[in-house]
Amino acid sequence: MYLSTINIRMSCKLSKKFIDITQRFTRFFHNVSPKRRVVCSGIGIVSPLGCGSQLAWQKLIGGSIGVKLNKKPGFEGIPSQVAAFVPTGISHGSFNIPDFIKKGDTKYLSQSMIYALVAAEEAIEDSGWRPTDAKCKQRTGVAVGSGMVDMETIAETSLTLKERGYKRVSPYFVPKILVNMSSGHISIRYGFQGPNLSVSTACTTGCHAIGDSMRLIRNSDADVMICGGTEAAIIPVAVAGFSRARALSHLFSQNPESSSRPFDMDRDGFVIGEGAAILVLEEYDHALKRNAKIYGEVLGYGMSGDAYHMTAAHEDGTGAYLSMNAALQDAIISPSDVQYVNAHATSTPIGDAVENVAIKRCFGEHAYNLKISSCKGAIGHLLGAAGAVESAFTLLALHDKIIPPTMNLFKQDKKAGFDLDYVANEAKDYTSSGKRRIALKNSFGFGGTNATLCFGELQ
C-alpha cells in the first residue's frame, strides 16, 4: 500500500511536469507563429467637412475648415460660440436625414446612431463586403463607440416625466441613450453575427474601437470588423459643461474658422465637433481572396493610462509616450521606421505641449525628421469620433501619399519646444525615401486613457 501511494504520487508529479512542458511549448509556438495581418478595405465618413470619405478628404488636404459660428438657440451666454457641425441640407456632401433614414426611425435613433449608420453604409459599400451566407455573417463583427451618451434626450425625457408624467415617457428612451446601440443597429441592419461590442473611453473611443477590432481579427475571433466612433454632442448642456471646465476655445468668435489652432502659440481650447467614421477591417488573405481594395494595414496598437488627473495629462508626457511605444512594439518596428504622426492635438495649451514632449521622448532625434499634423484645426474635436475620423484620414494619407495640414498654425512657439515640422496650413507630399510608409495615430481622453494605432501602406 505504501509503495502504491509513492508510485501514484510520482506518477502525478510526472504528469504535472509533462503538462507544464506541453504548455510551455504551446505558448512558445503560439508566440512565434505569424500574426494574422489586418487591413482596411472600406472607409465611411460623416464630418464637419461633409459626408463621404473622398469629399471630406479632398477638402481636408485642400485647406477647408468646418468650424463655424454657433447661431443655434440655447447657446446664448456660453463663452464658447463656435462649433464644427456636420453640414446639413440637400447640396452635395451635406447631411439630409430623409436621404438616409426612413421616416419615423428617429423616434428610436439618436443623432450619433444615425451618423454611425450613414458612415457604416458608405464603408460597407466602399469595401464591397455584403455577405449573404451564414458563416460569413457569423465571422463579421461590429465595434462602434461614442464618448458621450445622448444627454439631450435624457434632459428632455427627465423634463417630460416631471411635467407630464410616466405615460408620456417614450418606450424607446433607454435604447436611444445606450452607447452600444450604434453597434447594435449596424449589426441588425446587415445581419452581422460576429463580436458585437462598444467601447466608451471619452476622446480615445474611436482608436480603441479600431484597435480592439484589429485584435479580434488577429486572434481569429472574426475575419471582418465594422468599427469606429460616432458623436453628436453639440448641445447646450454639453457645451456649457466643457466651457465651465475651461476646455473650449472662446477667443476667436469674430473669426470662427481660426478658433481651432493646434500647436499654435495662441491656442486657447478645443472646438467641439460632431460626426462619425467607420472602417471595414479585414484579415489580409480574406481581403485578397475577394480582390478587395486595400487602403493600408493596421500594424500595431498600444494603450496606456496617465494615472494622474481627471482631465489633464502629466507635463512629462509619460502616458502618451507609453502608448506610442507600445504601438511600435506591437508593430515590431523601430521609431525610425515612422515618417508621420497624426497627432491628437486638440488645441488646448496643456494637451498639445504634453503630446509634443511625448513625441520627442518616443522618437528622440528622429522626431526632427517626422511630419506631424492635427486634423482638428480643420474639423474641430469630434470627441469619441475623433480617433476614428482621424484614423480614416491617416489611412488615406498613406494610400494617396499626401500628409494633411495642421490648419491655423500661425505662430509656432519654438521657445516652448514647438520646433518640429507640424505641416502648417498646407498639405505636403508623403515622401518616405524608398521605405515603407508608416504612420502613428494618437488619441487621448479624460481619465487619462490613451491609445495609439500604427498604420502602414500595403506591402
**Catalytic center residues:** 203, 344, 381
d(CA 312, CA 319): 11
Task: Say if residues 288 and 281 touch (Cβ distance below 8 Å).
Answer: no
Task: Say if residues 46 and 231 touch (Cβ distance below 8 Å).
Answer: no
Q: Which of 209, 421, 376 is nearest to 298 (CA)?
A: 209
Q: What is the CA radius of gyration of the chain?
A: 24
Task: Say if residues 297 and 458 touch (Cβ distance below 8 Å).
Answer: yes
453 DSSP β-pair partners: 301, 441
Three-state DSSP state, 100: helix
Three-state DSSP state, 16: helix
CA-CA-CA-CA torsion for 14, 20, 22, 27, nearest 10 degrees? -170
Task: Say if residues 301 and 57 touch (Cβ distance below 8 Å).
Answer: no
d(CA 150, CA 418): 37
d(CA 236, CA 258): 22
Task: Say if residues 375 and 84 touch (Cβ distance below 8 Å).
Answer: no
d(CA 158, CA 149): 14
Task: Say if residues 230 and 144 touch (Cβ distance below 8 Å).
Answer: yes
> Cβ of 107: how many Cβ atoms within 10 Å?
9
At 414, list the grid cell.
519654438
Spell out the alpha helix ranges (H) of 345-431. Answer: 349-363, 376-379, 386-400
Per-residue b or e along 171-195, where b marks 16 or more CB atoms closer than 10 Å to that residue's CB = eebebbbbbbbbbbbbbeebebbbb
**Residue-wise DSSP of 436-452:** PPEEEEEEEETTTEEEE
